[in-house]
Chain A
Amino acid sequence: MPGDGSLERLRREGRIVVVGASLAGLRAAEALRAKGFEGSLTMIGDEPHEPYDRPPLSKQVLLGRAAADRTALPRLRPVDATWRLGVPASGLDMAARRVRLADGDEVPYDRLLIATGVRARPWPHEAEAELDGVFVLRTRDDSAALARRLDAGPKRVLVIGAGFTGSEIASACRERGLPVTVAERGSAPLVGALGGVVGSVAAELQREHGVDLRCGVMVTALEGDTSGRVRAAHLSDGSTVEADVVIVSLGATRNTEWLAGSGLGAGPRGIACDAGCRAFDIRGIVTDDIYAAGDVARSPHALFGYQFLSLEHWGNAVSQARIAAHNMLSESTDRLPHMEVPAFWSAQFGVNIKSVGAPSLGTEILISQGSLQERRFVGVYGYQGRVIGAVAFDHARWLPFYRELIETTASFPPPFDNVDRRPGGQRPIDADFPDPSVPTHGPTVTLSGYSPADRRMTFTPAH
């Protein structure tokens, strides 16, 4: 209740529990202390490691330029927390305000932050997934194991799925001179995140760097030898690829199973929360003591018609963590909405790829600077007559300008007469995103709810 001193008490002697001790969890803990929280802070994480950074796992580590266990996140200030690492949270009692741990312990809270992120989607066939030489890449341990195997000089690496992570892995392997095949169900690498126009540039980049890229195919089975080591993969076009290392890079699954039955609005699409990171319960009523941040959260974004977005972006985890921490310790009128324009980066095949906004929501693209042929360009994405996203290939310096266009809901095609706009970049063309009903593993921005502007309802009677 505002003004009754309860917030003061919370700040002084409250108990805040953070589940998920990674990027969002750590940055929230630091922000809580920075804002003067003096109570007890408990960090619960199922990985046995202190918070570490994931982006280097598919870049520096696979290139052999950093060790996987040397990627701990820098500490921006002391958090003075009790760390419960190596033990997962297994349940939540919202009424009693307690988090249950897998070792039987219970941890009471006054405010809870859920930042359990996502995990790599495994190869669906269990026995094949267990073959020696089959990897996924999400954690430090995954990366260490894969790096070790790459050091041993495999005969051929097969990457299944050409989203950002898969493409970065292929890039690192090529840089180390390893033969690589990439199999992608879509028409091009990165097609789910950036569409087919930009995807075709990504495809050229891969081929130019010696990747044996196969698009429009699915891997149907992995085959092991008698000692349980993977030796080949069978593709839907009837071909076979012999590979002794296979990396399954098929996107991610949200870590929400532990909340099943708790009454919180959590499911396979993530944890629904409001623009201030407060989680909804299953009745669609917002809680006031439970918050969500990072990859596991999905929340309405003001710049995108308050549609629910899930963002698997480093920058989003950092900014939601700050918003959640601020709002936990604020009166309702002092709370802040999460409004940051989404931003993402990737480096592959020597090219710096950065995006702002939500390219995957766009329908049209205009190459506003540079050219696709030179692979140095800015592509602006339009949706219903406004600028909704932009991507840059080795043109990152211009992105702040486009971020501003998105923030100010500038009209599309953008009105400016660009100095550097080339013939062919004059008019918008279809951005060529895959049919949204066909799942891809590419997008890192996903629409995960209905637009409030969309009043249609479909009723499908059971037969």
Chain B
Amino acid sequence: MVRLAVDLNRCQGYAQCAFLAPDVFAMHGDEALLYAPEADESQRARLAQAAAACPVQAVLVDAVDVPADVPDEAVSGAR
């Protein structure tokens, strides 16, 4: 799984991302962007392309594989 977020303050709705990774990004109405906050591993390459193509660098993609520092079951007192 790849996690992502879009800084929608920056996003200008140019839709390059929706063109490059249509399974992850879609326009909703004329201007609003909807995205899947977690995408399938198979989307990783497309996502990287989309993030690179975004003219305002609004697409934030996981730079860390599976965060090794968070325990799977985070519990109180976990170290």
Contacts and interface: CB of A to CB of B under 8 A. Distances in A.
- Do the two chains bind? yes
Interface of A: 48-50, 53, 55-56, 59-60, 63, 65-67, 70-87, 101, 103, 105, 314-315, 318, 343-345, 347, 350-352, 354, 394, 396-397
Interface in B1-43: 1-5, 7-9, 11-13, 28-32, 34-38
Contacts of A396: 11-13, 31
Interface string B39-79: 00000000000000000000011111001111100111111
B64 A75 contact: yes
Given A53-B37, A85-B76, 19 more contacts: A48-B75, A50-B67, A67-B38, A72-B3, A74-B2, A74-B63, A78-B68, A78-B69, A83-B69, A83-B70, A85-B75, A85-B78, A318-B7, A351-B29, A351-B32, A352-B13, A352-B29, A352-B31, A394-B31
Contact of B9 (A84, A343, A351, A394): A343
Nearest to A313: B9
Contacts of A55: 8
Nearest to B76: A87
Given A82-B79, A86-B76, A351-B32, A53 B5 contact: yes
B77 A74 contact: no
Q: What 10 A-B pairs come out closest when comparing CB atoms? A: A350-B29, A352-B31, A85-B74, A87-B76, A347-B32, A352-B32, A70-B38, A75-B64, A343-B9, A74-B3
Contacts of A77: 63-64
A418 B38 CA distance: 42
21 contacts: A48-B74, A50-B67, A53-B37, A56-B37, A60-B37, A67-B38, A70-B1, A72-B3, A74-B3, A77-B64, A78-B67, A79-B69, A81-B69, A83-B69, A84-B77, A85-B70, A85-B76, A103-B77, A105-B77, A318-B7, A352-B30
A229 B22 CA distance: 41
Centre residue among B8, B36, B75, B79 by max chain A CB count within 10 A? B8
B26 to A, nearest CB: 9
Given A55-B8, A76-B60, A50 B74 contact: yes
A13 to B, nearest CB: 18
Nearest to B68: A78
B60 A74 contact: yes
B75 A86 contact: yes
A60 B36 contact: yes
A86 B75 CA distance: 6
Contacts, number: 118
Nearest to B39: A70
Contact of A83 (B34, B35, B36, B71): B71
A315 to B, nearest CB: 5
A305 to B, nearest CB: 23
Contacts of B8: 55, 314, 345, 354
Contacts of B12: 396-397
A66 B76 contact: no
B67 A75 contact: yes
A73 B5 contact: yes
Contacts of A394: 29-31
A396 B4 CA distance: 22
A87 B77 contact: yes
A48 B32 CA distance: 31
Contacts of B74: 48-50, 83, 85-86
A343 B7 CA distance: 11
Contacts of B62: 74-75
A350 B76 contact: no
A238 to B, nearest CB: 37
Contacts of A314: 7-9
B38 A350 contact: no
Nearest to A376: B30
Given A76-B60, A315-B9, A352-B13, A71 B37 contact: yes
Contacts of B3: 72-75
A352 B7 CA distance: 14
Q: Which of B1, B2, B35, B69 has the most CB of A within 10 A?
A: B69
A396 B75 CA distance: 42
Contacts of A74: 2-5, 60-63
A243 B11 CA distance: 37
B59 to A, nearest CB: 9
A350 B7 CA distance: 19
Contact of B70 (A50, A66, A103): A50
A87 B75 CA distance: 8
